[in-house]
A = this chain, B = another copy of it.
Amino acid sequence: MARALELIGDWWTPLILRDLFLGVNRFDGLAEDLGVSRNLLTRRLKALEENHVILRRAYQDRPKRYEYALTEAGRDLVPILLALTAWGDRWAQPDEGAPILFRHKSCGRFFEPRLVCPACGEPVRAEDIDALPGPGGAPTPGTKLVARLLAGRRTAKEGD
């Protein structure tokens, strides 16, 4: 999670990704839409490009002009951003309703993405989840306590 947040972990970044997904692909459009300073936007776009979440491509040759697009990793984030949007609408929705609706093209229905377990297909709620230590060692930056806590759980399971 820490790694995921390093990539998308500030307020503006998910909004940039949303705009790219919705079709606002050029620097001026992003700056206008988000009302963000050009300096900040330049830094965020650069960081996203370095992390391979977006890419920059020429859309015109003379003079050379560039636009931004989501990479495969960036597109893979879109459903998660939708789930986050749906969460915001569920718990903090203004009286007038959600500002954007999403439709699933293949079935034609408006929807909020639901999180399921791919093994059994059932919805996943917090109370359905056990966390156990993985092969990659302690999570960062949460380290000491979480690592100890997870190690304790593994031992408890093994001792069952």
Contacts and interface: CB of A to CB of B under 8 A. Distances in A.
B24 A141 contact: no
Main secondary structure of the interface of A (DSSP, over half): mixed
Contacts of A97: 134-136
Q: Copy number of this protein in the oligomer? A: 2
Interface in A9-29: 9-11, 14-15, 18-19, 21-24, 29
Contact of A29 (B34, B80, B137, B145): B145
Interface string A116-158: 1111111011111111111111111111111001100000000
A115 B84 CA distance: 12
Interface residues of A, number: 98
A11 B149 CA distance: 22
The 4 closest A-B pairs by CB, nearest first: A4-B88, A97-B135, A78-B126, A109-B119
Interface of A: 1-11, 14-15, 18-19, 21-24, 29, 32-35, 51-52, 70, 73, 75-85, 87-94, 96-107, 109-122, 124-146, 149-150
